[in-house]
Structures are given as C-alpha cells and as structure tokens.
Amino acid sequence: MGALGSSIGFESLTERGCLIELDRTPGVVAVASQPMWIRWVTPDGLREHYPDYFVRLDDGTAVLMDVKPAARIDDDVRAQFDMTGQFAAERGWRYVVYDAESQIREANLRFLAPFRGSASTEELPGLPEDGLPLAEAAALLGVGSEGYARCYAHLWSGLLETDLEEALSTKSIVWERRA
C-alpha cells in the first residue's frame, strides 16, 4: 500500500481491490492481512475463520474486515460473517464486509493507483462548481501528459472527484472536493 509504505498480502483480485480502496481511504494508518484465527463452538460443532484484514484508523478505531464477492455470499458465509461481526463488536471494533460489486470502480482505481503520492499541494485552479470534463481540467493543470498526470493524482488523493462508478475518460466530469 503506497500510503503506508508497505506491502500487504492478498489472496484474490477482490482482496486486491479492497486494498486499493483502503490505500485511498483517508485515516488508514495500518493494515494487517489475516490477523487472527477465530474459533467458535456452536451446536453444530467447531467453526473457525481467518478474517481477511485488520485496519487501524488514525483516530484509534479498529476495523475487522472480510472480503468476499457478493455473488459468493451464501447462508453459510453469512452465518460466519454474523459470528465474526459479533466477535468484533464484543471488542469494540467495527466489522465490515467488502463485497466489491463494482468492477468499473475497481478498474478506475487500478488505473489511478500509479498516480498515488504524486499529487502536489499546489493550489487547484478554480473549477466550476458543477465541474468540467477531465480533459479540460487536465489542460488547466499542465500541458499534455503533465496535466493529465496531475489530474489523475488529484483524483487519487480526493482533491478532485468524479463518479468512479462510470468508466473514466477524457469526457468524465471532475470537480473539486466538496466539504
């Protein structure tokens, strides 16, 4: 993860997508892969589970995470997630299931990820409140590829925003982050 300056393990493309989202999420200060082994005794016998990630936020919040495509969450998986959620709640942690339903969003973030860390603190030119096409915003930020690189870096950092649920193109409308 670029923001943390470390590599975090993943076992699937869905987990990779989750890590890309976490890398872009403000306030994430630590991520551990498969941080623990949880065992429960149930009326049906012993159940065990390795959650996918443990995330620490800069305000001290702890988040336990599982990653599973929505299409693969059946009743057994849902029961396991319910038990994991209860385990987390008993410790004062949040519990999140990342289900990665948007392939377009993930593709956009994979495209923007190489521009992480390259956003400068330069003043952004005043963009219209309703935004403008990415190509026009890039032209305001620099000439040619330099302007696009700055625009992509600002999209990654969140200084500029766009609808990441739509395929990113030169016609995508971008706007300055709203408070």
pLDDT at 119: 62
pLDDT at 179: 66
| 122 part of a folded domain | yes
| 2 part of a folded domain | no
Q: CB-based burial of residue 153 (10 Å sphere; 0-12 exposed, 13-18 middle, 19+ buried)?
A: buried
pLDDT at 126: 79
> Does the reported pTM lie above 0.85?
no
Low-confidence ranges of the chain (pLDDT < 50): none
Q: How far is CA 107 from CA 95, 101, 113, 146, in A?
A: 25, 12, 10, 22
> CA-CA distance, 178 to 167, in Å (whole number)?
21
What is the span of the domain harbouring residue 169? 103-176
pLDDT at 127: 81
pLDDT at 162: 96
pLDDT at 87: 97
pLDDT at 6: 79
Helix axes 145-157, 134-141, angle to 10 degrees: 110
Last residue of a domain, one of 83, 98, 113: 98
